[in-house]
């Protein structure tokens, strides 16, 4: 499998980024891959990049000087360098040692799959649900901003949104929405979609991309493709992220139709 990987950095936390790269090297070694790596520096990541240690045989490009263009636009800058398969990866995510071995085998066995997404856990081992059903405005409010007692009262609604009835230890085909923290694309699929919609600066660009991808290919969740994701939860990151989340949610619903309750 000829693979490229893009990682967008903005004020990247050096320790997390180093763990991401260490896990990436190990996973690629186990899968017999020597990928091309594109690091897109949207700013504030000099310290993280200064400690860069990668195999000498890996072609590495660092794209800088564009400013903070956003998550999706940053990954789009890497598309000119994409190979047959392209992995979109967050700098706060660790791959299991055999993650790419399983991902490669799955893509080779399933030509119909144009986008593969992993099973994920938080750093403390809890399951993280990266696949979602289409949300309503109320679902997003409930998940991100509602008090604990209301979340507990409507737990069944949140569990349905997070596809907890299906996401387990089996392969799931065609989840409606998937997270952008780790997406393995067949590059022709990603190029035909022209990458991310750059109207989304941050948040919901992944949901939009997966909805568009589902119209031309099949998406699969593979539990053997395992990661640990340390990010998420915009509401816990301060008012700036809340504002970005709300703006992107409005853009998403305007594009794909408003669903209130």
N residues, the chain? 261
In the structure encoding, which two tokens stand for residue 227, read together? 């990661």
Cβ atoms within 10 Å, residue 200: 25
pTM higher than the cut 0.85: yes
In sequence order, what are the residues at sequence separation of 6 or more whose Cβ sits closer than 8 angstroms to the Cβ of residue 153? none
pLDDT at 186: 98
Helix (H) or strand (E) run with residue 252 in it: helix 239-256
In the structure encoding, which two tokens stand for residue 248, read together? 């992107």
Rounded to 5 degrees, what are φ and ψ at 204?
Answer: 75, -10
Contact predicate 201/112, CB 8 Å? no
Instruction: Flag residues of the chain having pLDDT under 50.
Output: none
pLDDT at 237: 72
pLDDT at 236: 62
Superfamily of domain 3-131+173-233: Spore Coat Polysaccharide Biosynthesis Protein SpsA; Chain A (3.90.550.10)
User: Can you say whether residue 184 is alpha, beta or left, with left for phi > 0 and alpha for psi between -120 and 50 degrees?
Assistant: beta
């Amino acid at each position: 499998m000829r693979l490229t990987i893009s990682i967008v950095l903005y004020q990247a936390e050096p320790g997390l980024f180093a763990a991401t790269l260490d896990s990436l090297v190990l996973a690629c070694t186990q899968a017999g891959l020597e990928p091309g790596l594109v690091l897109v520096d949207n700013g504030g990541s000099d310290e993280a990049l200064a400690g860069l240690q990668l195999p000498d045989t890996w072609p590495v490009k660092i794209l800088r000087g564009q400013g903070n263009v956003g998550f999706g636009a940053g990954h789009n800058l890497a598309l000119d360098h994409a190979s047959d398969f392209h992995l979109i990866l967050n700098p706060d995510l660790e791959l299991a040692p055999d993650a790419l071995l399983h991902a490669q085998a799955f893509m080779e066995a399933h030509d119909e799959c144009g986008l593969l997404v992993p099973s994920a856990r938080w750093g403390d081992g809890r399951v993280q649900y990266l696949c979602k059903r289409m949300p309503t405005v109320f679902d997003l409010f409930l998940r991100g901003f509602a008090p604990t007692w209301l979340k507990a009262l409507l737990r069944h609604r949140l569990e349905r949104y997070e596809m907890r009835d299906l996401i387990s230890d089996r392969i799931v085909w065609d989840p409606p929405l998937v997270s952008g923290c780790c997406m393995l694309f067949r590059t022709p699929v990603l190029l035909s979609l022209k990458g991310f919609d750059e109207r989304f600066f941050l948040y919901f660009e992944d949901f939009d991309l997966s909805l568009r991808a589902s119209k031309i290919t099949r998406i699969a969740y593979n539990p053997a493709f395992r990661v640990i994701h340390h990010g998420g939860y915009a509401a816990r990151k301060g008012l700036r992220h809340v504002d970005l989340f709300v703006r992107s949610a409005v853009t998403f619903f305007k594009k794909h139709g408003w669903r209130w309750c």
